[in-house]
C-alpha cells in the first residue's frame, strides 16, 4: 500500500451513468491482486490547492494492463459526479492497492464467479488471474437490472476474461436470462454432472446474502467481496466495519472474551474479501 498519484488515461461513459476509468500508475499495478481495491481522491488537487473536504472513494480494481489499471463506477452522488468530469492527463490522488484478495481455487475445483452490476469488476480481475494461472474450469454469471446497465459487462468483453464461459442475466429479461445470478448458476448446476465448486461473489448486499445462504445449504465454499461505507481505507476511521458471525452467533461467554476489534471486522483491512461463513452480511453500500 502506498500514497501515490495516477494519470487519467481514459474516462469513458458506458451508458446509464456507468463509467470506465483507466489510470496509469506502475506501483498500483505491481501490487494488484484480484479482489483488492484503491481509494481515489475525487475532489483533491495534486501539487497544490486547498485540501478537499471530500473523503476518498473505494473502488475495486477491475483490470491491470501493463502500468494501467482500471475501475468501473456509477455516477450516484457528488464524488462520482466529479470523477465523471476527470479528463485524460489529469493527475489523481490514489491510495492503494489495499485490502485482501481472493484465494485461488484448487486445480480440481470449478470456480463460479457471481457478479452483480458495479460489483462485476472483482470478477473480471479474478477471471484474468484464473486465465493467467492456467485454471480453465470457471464460469462467470453476471447480472444487471436491465439492458440500460449493460456497460457493466465491459470487462468480460475483452482481455483474458473474454476467453471463458460467461452467462449474462437481467432482472427484466432484456439481456440474457431473466432473473438473478444465483438463479442462473443453479439452473446450470442442475443440468451438470456433480463436481467440486468454489464460489466467488461481489454485488449488492441482498445478493451476497442469497449467495451465502445458498452455498451454506449446498455445502459449497464461498468468498464474498463486500461493499461498505469507507472513509480512509487503512483502518483508522472504522467506518467500514462488518460484524463477525462468531460474535453474532456466540454464547455470552464467547462474546465477553472477544475484543471490539474481533467483534467488528474492518473491511478495509480484514476484507473486502471474506469467507461467506465468517461475517454477517448486513445492509451497506459504497460511499459516493
Average pLDDT rounded to a whole number, residues 265-278: 94
Give the closest residue to 179 by CA, choosing from 167, 190, 191, 189: 167
pLDDT band at 282 (very low <50, low <70, confident <90, very high): confident
Look at strands 165-170 and 138-144 and give their pairing.
Answer: parallel
| Average pLDDT over the chain, rounded to an integer | 91
pLDDT band at 56 (very low <50, low <70, confident <90, very high): confident
Q: Is the pLDDT of residue 284 over 60?
A: no
pLDDT band at 54 (very low <50, low <70, confident <90, very high): confident
pLDDT (tens digit, 9 = 90+) per residue, 184-237? 999 999 998 889 999 999 999 999 999 999 999 999 999 999 988 888 888 888
Average pLDDT rounded to a whole number, residues 112-126: 97
- What percent of the chain is modeled with pLDDT above 70? 94
Write down the pLDDT at residue 192: 86
Q: Is the pLDDT of residue 92 over 70?
A: yes
Average pLDDT rounded to a whole number, residues 172-184: 96
Write down the pLDDT at residue 285: 38
List of E strands, the chain: 2-15, 18-24, 37-40, 57-60, 63-65, 68-74, 91-98, 110-116, 138-144, 165-170, 177-178, 197-202, 222-225, 241-243, 264-266, 273-275
Write down the pLDDT at residue 17: 93
| Residue appearing with cell numbers 488537487 | 45
- 240-278: string of b/e by CB count within 10 Å (b at 16+)? bbbebbbbeeeeeeeeeeeeeeeebbbbbebbbbbebeb
- Residue 180, number of CB atoms within 10 A of its CB: 22
Write down the pLDDT at residue 286: 36
Write down the pLDDT at residue 49: 56
Distance of alpha carbon 279 from alpha carbon 212, whole angstroms: 10
Distance from chain centroid for Cα 213: 19
C-beta of residue 125 within 8 angstroms of C-beta of residue 99: no
Write down the pLDDT at residue 272: 96
Amino acid at each position: 500500500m502506498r500514497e501515490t498519484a495516477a494519470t487519467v488515461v481514459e474516462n469513458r461513459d458506458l451508458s446509464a451513468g456507468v463509467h470506465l476509468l483507466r489510470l496509469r500508475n506502475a506501483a498500483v499495478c505491481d501490487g494488484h491482486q484480484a479482489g483488492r481495491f484503491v481509494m481515489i481522491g475525487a475532489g483533491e488537487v495534486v501539487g497544490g490547492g486547498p485540501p478537499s473536504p471530500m473523503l476518498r472513494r473505494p473502488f475495486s480494481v477491475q483490470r491491470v494492463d501493463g502500468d494501467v489499471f482500471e475501475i468501473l463506477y456509477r455516477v450516484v452522488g457528488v464524488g462520482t459526479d466529479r470523477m465523471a468530469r476527470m479528463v485524460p492527463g489529469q493527475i489523481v490522488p490514489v491510495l492503494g492497492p489495499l485490502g485482501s484478495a481472493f484465494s485461488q481455487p484448487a486445480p480440481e475445483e470449478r470456480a463460479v464467479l457471481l457478479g452483480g452490476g458495479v460489483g462485476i469488476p472483482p470478477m473480471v480481475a479474478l477471471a484474468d488471474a484464473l486465465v493467467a494461472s492456467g485454471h480453465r474450469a470457471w464460469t462467470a454469471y453476471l447480472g444487471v437490472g436491465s439492458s440500460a446497465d449493460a456497460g457493466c459487462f465491459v470487462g468480460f468483453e475483452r482481455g483474458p476474461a473474454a476467453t471463458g464461459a460467461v452467462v449474462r442475466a437481467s432482472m427484466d429479461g432484456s439481456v440474457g436470462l431473466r432473473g438473478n445470478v444465483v438463479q442462473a448458476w443453479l439452473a446450470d448446476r442442475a443440468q451438470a454432472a456433480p463436481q467440486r465448486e468454489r464460489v466467488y461473489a461481489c454485488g449488492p448486499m441482498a445478493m451476497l446474502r442469497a449467495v451465502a445462504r445458498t452455498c451454506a445449504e449446498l455445502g459449497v465454499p464461498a468468498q464474498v467481496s463486500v461493499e461498505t461505507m469507507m472513509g480512509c481505507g487503512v483502518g483508522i476511521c472504522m467506518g467500514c466495519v462488518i460484524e463477525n458471525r462468531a460474535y453474532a452467533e456466540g454464547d455470552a461467554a464467547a462474546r465477553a472474551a472477544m475484543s471490539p476489534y474481533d467483534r467488528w471486522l474492518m473491511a478495509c483491512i480484514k476484507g473486502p474479501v471474506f469467507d461467506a461463513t465468517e461475517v454477517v452480511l448486513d445492509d451497506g453500500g459504497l460511499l459516493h
